[in-house]
Structure 1
Amino acid sequence: MSACTTVEMGSAIYRSAPLLQTPMEQVIRDVAPDCIFSDMFFTWIVDFSEELNIPRLLFYPNNFLYHSISHSLRVYASHANVKSEFESFVVPDLPDKITMKRSQVSHLFISKTRMGDLMERVR
């Protein structure tokens, strides 16, 4: 991802991840591991690890503050109550007061997108 120079290149990588499912499943079956450690974008690993009855650990490299704010935006949708992109709102249910503008909220929380669907599967 660090070598991507456009949004389209990054999107192509995310869209191509499912193409690895069949060959990766075969490698995993051949190796017969005791546990699977997978990247967050290989969402199919959840069902596959259950099928094999082995635990799965998820690599999801975002920090705790990001997860806390994301959770609050999903649960309370406080960004939906402001009238403009530049009006501030308080992110609820956090130990400290954090204000944001709707323009700072990722499109993943505002509109239904292909990337939004993928992130919902990751969650």
Structure 2
Amino acid sequence: MESYVRALNSRSVPDLMKVGDVPDEDWSRREAARILAADGGKDLKITDVRIDYDISPDTGSAELTATGRTGTTLRDTFTVIRTAGAWHLVIFEDRPLPPGKESSSTDRSSS
């Protein structure tokens, strides 16, 4: 969480991608820029973090509360995953599916 808040405060695309454990590609740079445009540069200070390893020993959920210099409050909930011994936040939504994987979409409209 501290690395995430540091990346937001410094508006660092590479640091945000590292926190999210995503490759340096066009889609990830675009999404990082979008995240930073919304929440970056606010001089956030963490006021509360709650982490539950409720899914598995390598997957859990985290709640973050942080306050910015202007009094704005950021509250967010993330999935956290451990990959190769390092914890990462699932913050990138537009991550492409690996080859051969299908979307978990429940849209079953017929043509």
TM-score bin (small chain): under 0.3
Q: TM-score, normalised by structure 2?
A: 0.23
Higher helix share: 1
Q: Which has the larger radius of gyration?
A: 1
Q: TM-score, normalised by structure 1?
A: 0.22
